Homo-oligomer: A and B are copies of this chain.
Amino acid sequence: MKKSNNITKSALSEKDGIIAPKSKDKSAIDKIKKKRRSKKSTDSLIEGIFKGDIVDLSRGITLIESGNPKHIKEARKIVKACLKNTTTSIRIGITGVPGAGKSTFIEAYGKYLTEKRKKVAVLAVDPSSSVSKGSILGDKTRMETLVRNPNVFIRPSASGINLGGVAQKTRETILLCEAAGFDTILIETVGVGQNETVVHSMVDFFLLLKIAGAGDELQGIKRGIIELADAIIINKADGENIKSAKLARVEFARALHFYPEMASGWNPKVLLTSALKNEGIMEVAELIQSYENHTKENGHFNRKRIQQNTNWFMQTIETRLRDEFMSRTEIKSELEHQISLIKKGETTAFDAAEKLFSK
- A residues engaging B (CB < 8 A)? 76, 79-80, 83-84, 86, 168, 171-172, 175, 218-227, 251-252, 254-255, 257-262, 306, 309-310, 312-313, 315-318, 320-322, 325, 338-339, 342-343, 345-354, 356-357
Q: A171-B349, A316-B353 are in contact. List 20 more A-B contacts (CB 8 A).
A: A79-B350, A80-B348, A83-B347, A86-B345, A168-B350, A172-B350, A175-B348, A219-B260, A220-B260, A223-B259, A251-B258, A254-B254, A255-B257, A306-B342, A309-B349, A310-B339, A313-B338, A313-B342, A317-B356, A320-B353
Distance, CA A338 to CA B322, complexed state (A): 20
Closest to A72 in B: B350
List chain B residues, Cβ under 8 A from A318.
318, 321-322
Docked Cα-Cα span, A80 to B346, in Å, equals 8
Compute how far the CA of A318 lies from the CA of B4 in the bound complex, rounded to whole angstroms: 45
Q: CA of A349 to CA of B342 in the docked complex: distance in angstroms?
A: 34
Is the Cβ of B313 less than 8 Å from the Cβ of A339?
A: yes
B321 x A172 contact (CB < 8 A): no
In the complex, which residues of chain B have a beta carbon less than 8 angstroms from the beta carbon of A349? 171, 309, 312-313, 315-316
Determine the distance from Cα of A122 to Cα of B189 in the docked complex, in whole angstroms: 43
Q: Are A313 and B352 in contact (CB under 8 A)?
A: yes
Q: What are 11 pairs between A and B in contact, CB < 8 Å?
A: A76-B351, A79-B350, A83-B345, A84-B346, A222-B260, A226-B259, A252-B258, A309-B343, A309-B349, A313-B338, A316-B352
A80 in contact with B357 (CB, 8 Å): no
With a cutoff of 8 Å between Cβ atoms, the chain B residues found around residue A258 in the complex are 218, 226, 251-252, 255
Closest residue of chain B to A339 (Cβ to Cβ) is B310
Q: A317-B356, A318-B318 are in contact. Are A309 and B342 (CB under 8 A)?
A: yes
A237 CB, nearest partner CB in chain B, Å: 17
How many Å from the CB of A262 to the closest CB on chain B? 6
| Interface contact A223-B260, CB-CB below 8 Å | yes
